[in-house]
Amino acid sequence: MPKVASKIGSIGQQHTITVLVENRPGVLARVAGLFARRGYNVDSLAVSITDDPTISRMTVVASGDEQTLDQISKQLTKLIDVIRVADYTDAPMMERELALIKVDADTTKRGEVMQLVDIFRAKIIDISETTFTIEVTGDVEKINAIERMLEPYGIREMVRTGRIALIRGARTAIQT
Amino acid sequence: MRGEGFFVFLARITESPDRADLLKSVNKMAKSKSGIQKYQAPPRGKPEPVRDGATVSGARALMESLKAQGTEVVFGVPGGVMIPAYDVLYDEGGLSHILVGHEQGGAHMADGFARVTGKVGVCFATSGPGATNLVTGIANAMMDSIPMVAVTGQVRTTAIGKDAFQEADITGITMPITKHNYLVTESSQIPRVIAEAFYIARTGRPGPVLVDVPMDVALNKMQYHTVPDVKMRSYNPQTAVNLDGVEEAARLIAEATRGVIYVGGGAINSGAWKEVRELARRTNFPVTTTLLAKGAFDETDPLSLGMLGMHGTAYANYAVRDCDLLINIGARFDDRVTGKIDAWAVGAKSIHIDIDPAEIGKVYIPDVALVGDCREALEALLSCVNERPRTEWNDQIDQWKQDFPLWYAADQDEVILPQMVCDELWKATKGEAIMATGVGQHQMWAAQFYKCRHPRTFVTSGGLGTMGFGLPSAIGAAVGAPDRTVWCIDGDGSFMMTNQELAPARQHKIPVKVAILNNQCLGMVRQWQTMFWDHRLSAIDLSHQPDFVKLAEAYGAVGLRAEKPSEVRGVIEKAMEVNDRPVIVDFRVARHENCLPMIPAGQTVEQMILDRPRKSIG
Ligand SMILES: Cc1ncc(C[n+]2csc(CCOP(=O)(O)OP(=O)(O)O)c2C)c(N)n1
């Protein structure tokens, strides 16, 4: 086993980390600041309220080797407003992301784009003379795939929520 | 603009609901013969104690909460939005306040106070510039894990975010340099927030906590309730040691032939010195301490290796190089200790004891980790560690000590060597004083030659390396330990950064003694430029500094000077006789002395720069 901890920014697997925090002003800044100042890579970050109004939930997707991820979890736990940190990477989990994609769809392209939307079980939620706005939900691969398929038609704008995740079965983040 | 203040004052009068009161006081001022500045309302006398459930202002609740936490002294500077708090202080018994020259000084005093007492140090500052002046002091306490609570004033909640006069987002600014911070938005939160702040500051791995109190929160009335105990679902400082590692650690100790005990500041924070001593006694493993842990193990003990690292003793660094077991007690593998980490203690198994789980594996991955309070962990460990006899390893260590002692040319009679001053201070105080330091060469010489015998007696800025820490931290230490002799070994550059704190020291008759190792330059920078930058001495000259003896006298302190080695002992004795005011001793020392041994930054013990001793100091 190497004796020396890995360098910051070392690449490795992507991890999905659930962070339950006190729902207080500034808590997002504390978490985001931690990642910035310790040089951890964040691939996505989603924040929301939960069933308990005093608790917010963050889903952080971060990459790095085992030691870096271990440090991320420990440093997050050290923040006073953090209640629980759970790394879901090796747990059976469900991950989803939602994307809205505004794509060129004039009369010549509409049919093809609609077919693609069907195949991905996505939805067209807005339409103009020249564009469709598509809503798609799924795991990261699915979103990446539809993005790739739509690219040739001309994506004007796109937004993704970032990943959210829950563990399968009856267990919850507090219990992991 | 001249006169502006007066117009603002008039505007306040016409605005104020208590107009009649104010006019009365203005009339009083006008009547007082010797000019309006002279009039000062007398305190109203010690106020009624605040009963549980009583209705009081937020400011009163703040003071009451601080007292409830055992606060006896506060270091600070008032200002507009802090006046409500200071107004309470005006009548208050039981809480002393030291008006400091600069808020950084106040923070360092609180820090020094905390280091020698083990209690939480408290400092005050007003909003905006007062608060930002605290930043260096807070960062310093954070890096060295010192328990501190800083209370800052803030503009009214309705003005926050509007770039109001003297508004600074101090909770945002100090987020990365505090263990935690609070912006209080309701007066009723004050007792709980203060109780939590102290709890967070002193438990687990200690650190500074900042509490930002807006003006209206201080003014508004609230019902005061005591906070009997703090429970926070999101903060449970782990103190129970994971016992599964203990047996494994004991086995490593039993199997080792060349053990070294490497002690850090955590051992001081947890009060583990008896246990450290017992572990050393029982195993006969030599003990080296970091700069911050000086005093956690008696440095006159034959098993002591002194400090390790960049300017540590050669024998401590050799011992770490050759050991087969490294027992880290509350240290954090700082780069000034390890140098090139990949080449550090490569042949050794290691045990790491720390209360902060994030320290385990942050820099160096141990074979066994005991997460928990150092003292409790050592207690558990000691229950399974057997006596071990002295071995060849001890002989080897003793040989290194003989071959590579700390030394300086003691035969000088023209010029004072800085090391000699440190050595003489050690002899004069027998290692029984509290020793504070600035940052630079003098700090390293102090660490090398002032052998600490007791914990909480060496007060120095380790992690942040803050020049200017010396004098204010010594003042804080003297306030915390009024029966001890407090010295500060300072550099001329460091001293210039915070010497304004001589004024409060004089005011309160605090007899700190500052030994300035005056080399007329930024010595440590000069040393690096000399050794690693081709002698290109850029921006290090301090030969135009003030006359420190006159400066001391200007402050009403005692100023002394020594220019020859033969004078050193005499001025130290003279300084020791003063006990009613600060003393500054200007030691004119050699300008071009280098601090050795030295392992250049990022290198290994093989590159250690050693001078062969010309004459051992014995
Ligand atoms: C606030 C601050 N500014 C700059 C430095 C960088 N620095 C480290 S040591 C040093 C020189 C210190 O000079 P002095 O206090 O005279 O002590 P000496 O090294 O001469 O003993 C400097 C400038 C620092 N550590 N802290």
Domain A14-91 shares a fold with domain A94-164: yes
Contacts for B614 with CB less than 8 Å, ≥ 6 apart: B407, B409, B411
Note whether B456 and B147 are within 8 A (CB): no
Query: Which ligand 1 atom is at minimum distance from the Cα of B440?
Result: 19
Instruction: Assess B169–A contact: CB distance below 8 Å, yes or no.
Output: no
Q: Is the pTM higher than 0.90?
A: yes
Interface of B with A in 468-527 (CB under 8 A): none
Q: What's the pLDDT score for residue B27?
A: 59
Note whether A130 and A120 are within 8 A (CB): no
Note whether B149 and B208 are within 8 A (CB): yes
* Residue A152 dihedral angles phi and psi, to the nearest 5°: -60, -25
Q: Find chain B residues with C-beta within 8 A of A37's C-beta.
A: 176
Query: Domain-by-domain residue ranges, chain A?
Result: 14-91, 94-164
Residues of chain B with pLDDT under 50: 1-17, 613-618
Instruction: Assess A7–B contact: CB distance below 8 Å, yes or no.
Output: no
Q: What's the pLDDT score for residue A41?
A: 86
Residue B29: both structure tokens together = 């001022």
| Residue of chain A whose alpha carbon sits nearest to that of B199 | A80
Q: What's the pLDDT score for residue B28?
A: 61
Residue type (1 letter), B550? K
B434-437: strand order across its sheet:
B458-459, B434-437, B486-491, B513-518, B583-588, B558-562
User: What gap in Å lies between CA B305 and CA B394, rounded to an integer?
Assistant: 11
User: How many angstroms does the Cα of residue B488 sit away from the middle of ligand 1?
Assistant: 15
Residue B614: both structure tokens together = 């010309």
Domains identified in chain B and CATH numbers:
1-41 (no CATH), 49-223 (3.40.50.970), 243-403 (3.40.50.1220), 418-588 (3.40.50.970)
| Residue of chain B whose alpha carbon sits nearest to that of A2 | B365
Query: Which ligand 1 atom is at minimum distance from the Cα of B443?
Result: 21
Pick the CATH number of A94-164 from 1.10.10.10, 3.30.70.1150, 3.30.9.10, 3.40.640.10: 3.30.70.1150
Q: How open is the CA angle B75-B332-B230, to the nearest 5 degrees? A: 50
Instruction: Assess A77–B contact: CB distance below 8 Å, yes or no.
Output: yes
Query: Using one digit for the tens of pLDDT, what is the confidence trace for B569-611?
Result: 999 999 999 999 999 999 999 999 999 999 999 999 999 999 7
ipTM: 0.92
User: How large is the average pLDDT for residues A153-173?
Assistant: 95
Q: What's the pLDDT score for residue B22?
A: 55
Ligand 1 binding pocket, CB closer than 6 Å? B 438-442, 465-468, 491-494, 517, 519, 522-525
Q: What's the pLDDT score for residue B46?
A: 82
Residue A37 has its nearest CB partner, among B171, B176, B180, at B176
For residue A66, give the H/E element and its range. helix A66-78
CB contact under 8 A, B235 and A80: yes
CATH architecture under which domain A14-91 falls: 2-Layer Sandwich (3.30)
Q: What's the pLDDT score for residue A11?
A: 73
Residue A82 has its nearest CB partner, among B234, B346, B362, at B234
Q: What's the pLDDT score for residue A170?
A: 92
User: How many angstroms does the Cα of residue B492 sit away from the middle of ligand 1?
Assistant: 9
* Minimal-distance CA residue to ligand 1 atom 3: B467
Residue type (1 letter), A61? V
Contacts for A132 with CB less than 8 Å, ≥ 6 apart: A102, A103, A105, A110, A113, A114, A117, A124, A126
A123, pLDDT greater than 80:
yes
User: How many angstroms does the Cα of residue B606 sit away from the middle of ligand 1?
Assistant: 27
Instruction: Assess A81–B contact: CB distance below 8 Å, yes or no.
Output: yes
What rounded mean pLDDT belongs to chain A? Answer: 93
User: How many angstroms does the Cα of residue B439 sit away from the middle of ligand 1?
Assistant: 5
Q: What's the pLDDT score for residue B37?
A: 60
